[in-house]
Structure formats: C-alpha cells, structure tokens
Amino acid sequence: MKSGRLGLCYFTAVPLAQVCRVWYYEIYVELGGNMVEIWQLLVQSVRLPPSISSPRTPQKIYFKRSDNPDTSVQRVLSCEAQGSLPLEIYWRKNGITVEQSKYVKFDVSDGELAITDPTREDEGVYQCIATNKWGTSLSQPFHFIMGRHGSFPDDPVTSLSVNEGDSASLTCDNQPISVPAGTYFWYKQPVNQQGGAQDQVIESDRHAIDKTGTLYFINVIKRDQLIDKVYACGIYNSLDESIKIGSKKRLDVSPPSTGVTNFSPIRLHAPETVEGQIGKDVELECIIGGSPVPTIKWLGLSSLPIKTRNNKYKVTKFGRSLQIFNVTESDEGGYTCIAENNSGRETVFIYFNVTSPPMWINSLQSKHAIVGDDVKFTCKARPAVQEELLSPPDWFINGEPLNMTKELEQGRMMSFNDDRTILTIQDVSRDRDLMCIQCNISNSIGSVFSDAYLNVLEPIMILSRPPEFTVFGHGEVLNFTITATTDPSQTLTRRWFLNDKPLILHQPYFMYDEQSGDFYFNTSKVAVQDIESMAGEYRCELSHQHEITAVAFSIATSKPTTDKNSDPVVAGNYTFIIVIIAGLLVVIIVCIVIVALWKNRTPKAVYNLGKEEDKNFNLTPINQLESEELHNETMNETMNESKLSLYSVGKC
C-alpha cells in the first residue's frame, strides 16, 4: 500500500502535482475506485497534532464603538493552523469557550472570529484553539481592547502668579481616560470658548511639555501672560482621532522683585529613575529652568559625551530629551544631564533601569519522535539582568493544566527536572502520546507563552535485504533491493555507498528504481578486469527528516576454475590433510623433547648396596669421612661399567 506517498501529498497540500496524481491513481486502482476508502485510508494513516502558525506574537487590538447606529462595524480576529484533518478551530475569551451569537460568528474551518458592533462586554483576552483527533493547540493571546476618550470636567479657570524671569509649570489636571494613551498638547484658548480655532503652544527653547502633560516655562517673560485667553491642556486620542481640551490655567506675570532677570539653572522635571523594556525605545527627560535659557548636554554610562551620530541615541527638544533606541541590557545605568548658563550649572543624575517580560532561553519546539523514544520539552526563560528570578513555568497538555496523576492514569510516563523547566515523556507511543503541549512564564512586567506538539512516528522497518555476504561470478545478476516501511506521513530516501564512497547509480550495469527502491547489479556488463573494483562493502542509508538507519552487506568475486585443484571443495580437502600432517609432526617433536629431558634428569647408573652396607648406611660424620675413599672407588667402577655398556650398544 502506498499510504506513505499519499500522506506526503496530503501534508504538502499539493494533490494536483503530477507525482501525487500518479500515486492517487495507483491507490484508486488498488482499492477498486472507492474514493471513500481512499479518504479514510488517508485520514487514518496520517497523524499530526495541530499547530498554530499565526499569530506568532501576542496581539493588541483596539476597537471603538460605532457612532452611527445605522452603520455596523465589524472587527475580525484571525489565526492559521495546520494538522491532520479534520481540523477545527474554536475561540476562547478569558479562558472560556466563545459561543456564537447574533454578533459573534466564526467558522470552525477558516480560523476567523468576526465580532459585529463590539462593545465593552466584548473586551478581553482571546485565544484561537485548533483541535483534531491528536491534540489541541493554543494561539498567542489577542488583547481585544475598546478605545475610550473621555472629557475633562468643566472646572473653573485657575491662576498662577509668577515673577518675570522665574520658571513656571502648568499641570494638566483631572485628565480624562484615554485608551490608547493620548498625546499631550497645550493651547491658548479664548476665555469662555469651548471649541473652535485654538492657538497651539509650540515647544521651544522656553516651552516644554513632559510625558505627563505638564507645560513648563523655562523662564517667564511678560508676554506669557495672555489677554482674554487662557492656557488649556489638550489630549489627542489616535483611535478616536479627536482632541479633548480642559484644565484651563491663567498665568499672571509680575515684574521681578529684585530687578534681576538672570537666574542660575534649576531642575524642573527629571525623574531620578526611568524604566524601559528591552527591545523598545525610551526617552529620558531633563527639563531645566533658568534665565537665560540653559544649554544642556548629556553624558552616557562612562561619563563621556553622548554620541548622536549613530542610530542608538538622539537628543531632541532643545537638548531636554535623550532618546535611546532598541533598548538592551547593556543600556542600564546612570546618565547625566548637565545644564549651564552664565549664572551657573545644574547637574542631574538619571538612573535607567532596564526591565523585560521573561525572555526565552528555550521555548517549546515541536518534536517528531520514534516509537519508544524518550522526549524532552524545555520551557526556560530568564529575567533581565538584576531583576527578580522567575517562577517555574505553568504547563498545559492540550490546553488544560497538566495533572501528573491524570496523565499517569492514562498510561503516560512523565517527569520534571528540579526547576520544572524540562518535561520528559518516556517510552512514547504512537497511539497514546500524540499531543499538544503549552507553557507560560510570567513576571510583574508581562508573560511569554509557547505551544508545540509531539508527533510519534512508526520506525523505519527493514522487511527484506540482501545477504550479509555474497560470492559472485562474472555474469551473475545480483539483487540489492532493500524493502522497508516507515510512518505513513514520511517518505523514505535512499543513499548508496560502496566502500564508504558515494555510489553512482546511473551506470549501465545498475538497474535502480528510485520510487520503489528495486536495485539489481548485472555483473556481465562490467569488464572482467574491472570486476574486482565492484567488490567490497555496500551500504544503503534509508532516512527521512526525523530518522536514519543503514543496511550494509559485502560481495566478493570468485576465482576462475581451470583444474580440480582450484575447486573449493578439493582445495578444502587438501588443506585438511596438510593440517593433519602438520599436527602429527608437532606431536612427534614434542614426544622427542620430553624423552630427552627425562633422560637428562635420570642417573646414568645405580649402585645397589649390600646387606652389610645397607645396615651401616647411616654413617656418622666421622665415619662418612673415613668412607670417602671407598665411595670414590665405587664411583669409578660404576663409570667404567657405563662406558663399557655404551660401547657394547654402539657396536651392536
């Protein structure tokens, strides 16, 4: 059955490709033209848990209510998923399954959630849920937020009195809500006017607006006091595309009390600590009053002047703003703002604290394992430098919190390392352990979420192969075919080697079919003088992208036969006889050596004692000395007898 090839067409979504059409036709014929059976075969044999490919990062989506009741506004959340069919897509809002209604619609097959005329009740964190028989995958979160832009209260105008030459600030009080965050402006508004044309206060060397909306006068001059006008704070909302104005202020300017209008620099606004997140841009503000207007310069981490000719820093707003782009951990530290005029100097130190949501060290990665493998999933993140340590991750299986007891009851063998950052699934099974896995890590700044799947594949199985060793003669046809099977979702590829060198298959003496793997070697098409070069070890590596296995075998040539001695059987008999003869010779030589050694150790002659000698054998040392002469005489006689005996033997 060619289900593996069919699975390839199924996964690559190219059923109209020529090669796939051929495979479909082959299975069509094999199953007697039953298309229902073909589809059932496809669905049953190919297994892949779902995975969501879009969105890859958390989304923040703002919406606003329609101002026209006769016109509907529709917002669409969209995700994309892959996996074995049938694959269905649902949605969750704040962890609860979204139900379809008159205003909320989705199609389980296309991954789109449409919300008509959304209201505040529709706000929340949405997730796309893709599910099939083999698992459930969760998307990155969609933060669906309704835009808001309130109005200032109708407060009375407040006044601020200041001397000429002094610094002054007008705060933007009782600010209305603005979602997303608004942008601040200040205007010169005619008294008692609620709308119409406004004269905008443009930021200059004498006028500054900070990120909280306060308007600063670096030094006040007489014309800053308005006639028939007041200063009003404006907040612009980009979603609503409107400006709301309020917090009206009047500035009363008096002549200098001492007659002096020159003042040394004074700190008006410069936070001691500023926080910024890794990867984002940040602005350090240093608003310094004084008369004349002070000049400002910035020093960086090494107390050296900031270089603005690169893309890292930019000084704007007449020196009052230092922008740091694409923040990294190395940007953390102290920055110095120095303001000077002819009356003095003011030095301001600002500490920049770099923060971040958890940053991935190892997010979850989908795995294709082989039956029986142990599989590890790692969910590990770190905080920014010098930030608090992270809590262990929260783990989920198919979108539900991981319960070890429940998993054990289902036969799954799972375990964690000490800090719960590595989940190990042991001895995976294709019928039990296909699943989706999620993890989430949070800190006070934010969170990170990861989703992956475990797919378990049937191993590569060798069904038939050539013998491990073959002796062949010139003219034979050798069958090198290796038959193997693997998971239906994978397609095997084969690479051949001869004596560890790639084998060139497109040769006249090779008959090789890349599709079926059939392989024959016709030795008659190889020149006799070249046949030896074709002998040796053949190795075939069978693989797909998740597994590799090898089959090796050797072939050797047989020598040409011209007489019976060259016959392998006869030659074997001669060899046996030679071995027997050699063994007998070895035995004879060993016996001769043993006899020779024995003779050397045996006395040449023996003297037998008489009764009287035997009786007096135990001599005292004195008697032994007295009998020394007798002993020597006896030995001489014995040697003479031995010589006589040897002479007699030689003569015979």
192-250, pLDDT tens digit by residue?
766 555 799 999 999 999 999 999 999 999 999 999 999 999 999 999 899 999 999 99
Helix residue ranges per DSSP H, 387-507? 404-409
Taking residue 104's Cβ as centre, other Cβ atoms within 10 Å add up to: 16
Q: How far apart are CA 466 and CA 461, in angstroms?
A: 15
DSSP 157: P
Q: How far apart are CA 35 and CA 650, in angstroms?
A: 109
Q: Would you state the pLDDT for residue 290?
A: 95
Q: Would you state the pLDDT for residue 1?
A: 37
DSSP SS3 for 154: coil
Q: How far apart are CA 46 and CA 647, in angstroms?
A: 102
Query: Terminal CA-to-CA distance of the chain, rounded, Å?
Result: 95
Residue 606's closest CA among 630, 649, 641, 647? 641
Q: Would you state the pLDDT for residue 282?
A: 97
Q: HSE-up of 377 (CA within 13 Å, CB side)?
A: 27
Residue with tokens 């965050």: 181
Residue with tokens 């009287």: 612
Q: Which amino acid is at 159?
A: S
Q: Which residues, including other chains, have CB under 8 Å from residue 335's CB and lie 6 or more apart?
A: 284, 298, 299, 300, 301, 322, 349, 350, 351, 352
Q: Would you state the pLDDT for residue 32?
A: 57
Give the percent of the chain with pLDDT over 90. Answer: 71
Task: Give Rg (Cα) of the chain.
Answer: 49
Q: Would you state the pLDDT for residue 33?
A: 54
Taking residue 136's Cβ as centre, other Cβ atoms within 10 Å add up to: 23
Residue 413's closest CA among 402, 422, 403, 425? 425
Q: Which long-range contacts (CB under 8 A, 24 or more apart) does 281-284 make?
A: 281/323, 281/324, 281/325, 281/326, 281/327, 282/323, 282/324, 282/327, 282/352, 283/211, 283/321, 283/322, 283/323, 283/324, 284/321, 284/322, 284/323, 284/324, 284/335, 284/337, 284/350, 284/352
Identify the sign of the CA torsion 102, 107, 110, 111. Answer: positive
Element (H, E) at 264: strand 263-269
Residue 429's closest CA among 415, 416, 412, 414? 412
Q: Which amino acid is at 293?
A: V
Q: How far apart are CA 373 and CA 494, in angstroms?
A: 23
Which tokens in the block code for residue 170? 């007008």
Q: Would you state the pLDDT for residue 520?
A: 97
Q: How far apart are CA 643 and CA 650, in angstroms?
A: 11
Which tokens in the block code for residue 332? 């953390």
* Beta carbons of 19 and 48 less than 8 angstroms apart: no
DSSP SS3 for 602: coil
Q: What is the pTM of this model?
A: 0.72
**How does strand 273-277 pair with strand 344-355?**
parallel
Q: Would you state the pLDDT for residue 26?
A: 52
Q: Would you state the pLDDT for residue 308?
A: 83
Residue with tokens 């020149």: 527
Q: Which residues, including other chains, have CB under 8 Å from residue 226's CB and lie 6 or more apart?
A: 188, 250, 251
Q: Which residues of the chain have pLDDT under 70?
A: 1-45, 193-197, 559-575, 598, 600-652
Q: How far apart are CA 438 and CA 136, in angstroms?
A: 10
* Beta carbons of 98 and 90 less than 8 angstroms apart: yes
Q: Would you state the pLDDT for residue 36?
A: 53
Identify the sign of the CA torsion 589, 590, 596, 600. Answer: positive
Q: How far apart are CA 602 and CA 599, in angstroms?
A: 5
Q: In DSSP terms, which residues pair with 287 in a beta bridge?
A: 269
Q: Would you state the pLDDT for residue 377?
A: 98
Residue with tokens 């879009």: 54
Say how many residues make up the chain.
652
